[in-house]
Structure 1
Amino acid sequence: MQLSWSQPCSSGMIQLLLVSNLLLWECVVSRPMCLDIGYKKLFLQELFDRATVIAQYTSNLTMQMSEEFSDELLKVMISISRVWYHPLEHLVCEVAARKGTCETMLSKIKELEEKNQELLEEMKGILVRVHPGAEENAYPAWMGLAEVRSDNEDTHHFALSNLLHCLRSDTDKIVTYLEVLKCQVIHNNNC
Structure 2
Amino acid sequence: MFAQHRSTSGTGSRLLLLLVMSNLLLCQGNFCTFLCPHVDDLCLNSLKDLFTRATNLSHYIYNLSSKMFNEFVSTYYINITNSCHTTSLHAPEEKEQVEHRHVSLIRWILMLLYSWNESLYHLVMNLRSMKEVSDAILSRARENVKKVKELQTFIERVFSQVSILGRWPEPTLSDRHHSAFFNLFHCLHRNSRKIDIYTKLLACQLLHDKC
Normalised by the size of structure 1, how large is the TM-score?
A: 0.54
> 1:157 aligns to what?
178
> 2:165 aligns to what?
143
Larger RCO (CA within 8 A; separation ≥ 6): 2
Amino acid at match of 2:134: C
Identity of aligned residues (%): 27
> Aligned match of 1:85 in 99, 108, 117?
117
CA contact (8 A) 1:89 1:113 kept: yes
* Equivalences for residues 93-172 of structure 1 within 5 A: 93-124=125-156, 135-136=158-159, 138-147=160-169, 149=170, 151=172, 153-172=174-193
Change (3 A) 1:77 1:67: same
CA contact (8 A) 1:70 1:181 kept: yes
Of Structure 1 and Structure 2, which has the larger fraction of its residues in helix? Answer: 1
TM-fit CA distance, 1:96: 0.9
Change (3 A) 1:159 1:73: same
Distance 1:63 1:166 in 2: 23
CA contact (8 A) 1:90 1:145 kept: no
> 2:17 aligns to what?
none
- RMSD, aligned CA: 2.6
TM-fit CA distance, 1:63: 9.6
* Equivalences for residues 24-63 of structure 1 within 5 A: none
Distance 2:208 2:110 in 1: 22
Question: For residues 24-48 of structure 1, what are the alpha-carbon distances to aligned partners after superposition, in whole Å with 9 as ceiling and x for unaligned?
Answer: xxxxxxxxxxxxxxxxxxxxxxxxx
2:162 counterpart SS class: coil
Change (3 A) 1:65 1:83: closer
TM-fit CA distance, 1:67: 5.4
For this pair of structures, how many residues does the alignment match? Answer: 118
State the structure with more CA Rg.
1
